[in-house]
Amino acid sequence: MFKPTRRSILSQGTALAAASALPAANTASAADMPASPVRLGVASYSLRKFDRAHVIEFMKALNVHLINLKDMHLPMSPPEETRRAAAEFRQAGLTITGAGVISFTKDDDDDVRAKFEYVKTAGIPLIVGMPSVQVLPRVEKFVKEYNIKVAIHNHGPEDKNFPSPFDVLKAVRNLDPRVGLCIDCGHAVRAGAEVPAAIKAAGPRLFDMHIKDLTAFSNDDSGCAVGDGKMPIPAIFKELIAIAFKGQVMLEYEIEENNPLPGMVKSFAYMRGVLAGMGYKA
């Protein structure tokens, strides 16, 4: 686990102070706004170098209560530790919306069942998953047995199974309605997909979203704070509202892994600003 240096601690502290000030902005006008139908949260992979205690601290400072947990924050075994970790987040007032990304590469009942048992043990209603095309029918079988949704995560041009959200939609269109899509915006644009169009096409099959920004859609190394790149965030939010999206938009901040808070603060400030400009309180 990452051990912060004095410099990074000071930087995190500055970011936390800035984050705690965000909700106070425009208090008078915000009081008259309806709550945003776009629910913002955090994919805990953003904070992969930090332990649970720090993740909880950062979530509170960011004034965000929705979290999707990766296995470094929600251990897959033993079951007692899975339950204890999930309870820590809930006791801190956080809502665990999903687990993952979880890979399904073995076309084997025992392997797939173990992952559904892990999510059931944690009491989580959604798996953000990366199954292979071959394993997908078996995953659907366990979706029906466990009544746990699976949102298939597109992973860009390098993904031989589901590079684009449209590839996922083709694969799931005749499956159980609890098998759907998690659009990863960054990977989607690198695969040539327009994110608002993918949202519209997905409709009720869209269960979850990973939001990020890039300065160059062809370059996976061009990540930046949301609002500093080319991602059409206002158009994305408008389309989510148009389809009455019931899931959540999870910030997946993949850069600056040892010091992510400043960029996360900036990203949430921008997204909340976009929603405020649309007339919503985020």
For residue 42, CA distances in Å to 9, 87, 273 come to 21, 18, 17
Q: Are 213 and 228 in contact (CB under 8 A)?
A: yes
User: Across residues 153-181, what is the average pLDDT?
Assistant: 97
DSSP 204-270: GGEEEEEE-EESSTT-TT-EE-TTSSS--HHHHHHHHHHTT--S-EEE---S-TTS-HHHHHHHHHH
Tokens representing 33 are 């706004």
Express as a percent the part of the chain with pLDDT over 70: 89
Whole-structure pTM value = 0.90
Q: Give dist(CA 276, CA 22) in Å, integer.
A: 12
Query: Residue 176 carries which DSSP code?
Result: -
> Is residue 110 over pLDDT 60?
yes
Q: Give CATH for domain 38-277.
A: 3.20.20.150
* Residue 264 pLDDT class (50, 70, 90 cuts): very high
Selection from 275, 260, 271 nearest residue 15 by Cα: 260
From the CB of residue 109, how many other CB atoms can be counted at a distance below 10 Å? 11
pLDDT at site 27? 46
Q: What confidence tens digit (pLDDT) does each residue in 198-252 have?
A: 999 999 999 999 999 999 999 999 999 999 999 999 999 999 999 999 999 999 9
- Which of 202, 210, 197, 212 lies closest to 177 in space, CA to CA? 202
CA 44 to chain centre: 8
What's the confidence (pLDDT) of residue 30? 64
Is 80 exposed, middle or buried (CB count within 10 Å of its CB: 0-12, 13-18, 19+)? exposed
pLDDT of residue 1: 46
CA 147 from centroid of its chain's CA atoms: 21
Q: What is the pLDDT, as a whole number, of residue 22?
A: 46
| Beta carbons of 166 and 191 less than 8 angstroms apart | no
CA distance 263 to 152: 27
Read off the pLDDT of residues 52-108 as tens digits, 9 standing for 90 and up.
999 999 999 999 999 999 999 999 999 999 999 999 999 999 999 999 999 999 999
- pLDDT value for 282: 80
Is residue 151's pLDDT more than 90? yes
Q: What is the C-alpha to C-alpha distance for residues 149 and 140, in angstroms, rounded to an integer?
A: 9
Q: Give the dihedral sign, CA 271/70/146/151.
A: positive
Average pLDDT along the chain? 92
Residue with tokens 């949260």: 41
Residue 101: its H or E element: strand 95-104
Dist. CA 276–CA 171, nearest whole Å: 36
Which of 12-26, 146-160, 201-215 has the lowest average pLDDT?
12-26
Strand partners, 130: 103
